[in-house]
Every structure is written in C-alpha cells, then in structure tokens.
Amino acid sequence: MWKLQWIKQRIKAVLKEEKGIGVVEVILILVVLIGLVIIFKSQLTSLVQTIFQKITSESAGI
C-alpha cells in the first residue's frame, strides 16, 4: 500500500516540475519556424538564388 502512495507522490512531483516547460517552448518555436519555411519556401529559394548569383558575379571580378 505504501508503494502505491509513493508512486502517486512521485507522479505528482514530476507533473509539478517546470523543467519540461522549456522543452515544450523549444518544440513550439521549431514548429512555427518550420511552418514559416514551408509557407515562404518559394520566396526564400529565390532570395538565396539571387544572393548566390550576386556572390558568383562579384567574385568573378576579383
């Protein structure tokens, strides 16, 4: 009987810990960033291609 009581107390203690909140926040931030990348994929691709074209053309002049 005392083991069951101890297990219940441990579960309550784990649920009250705030260390897990940081993990949830990081996961939510990653989900938002991945969503933004998916939404703006074509714009990001064209921007990166333009930047690399400029770098290539400028480096040819050196």
Condensed to tens digits (0 to 9), the pLDDT of residues 21-61 reads 677 788 899 999 999 999 999 999 999 999 999 999 888 77
Q: Residue 15: its pLDDT value, please?
A: 65
d(CA 33, CA 22): 17
Q: pLDDT band for position 13 (50/70/90)?
A: confident
Q: pLDDT band for position 4 (50/70/90)?
A: confident
d(CA 27, CA 24): 5
Can you give the pTM of this predicted structure?
Answer: 0.50
In total, the chain counts a number of residues equal to 62
Q: Residue 11: its pLDDT value, please?
A: 73
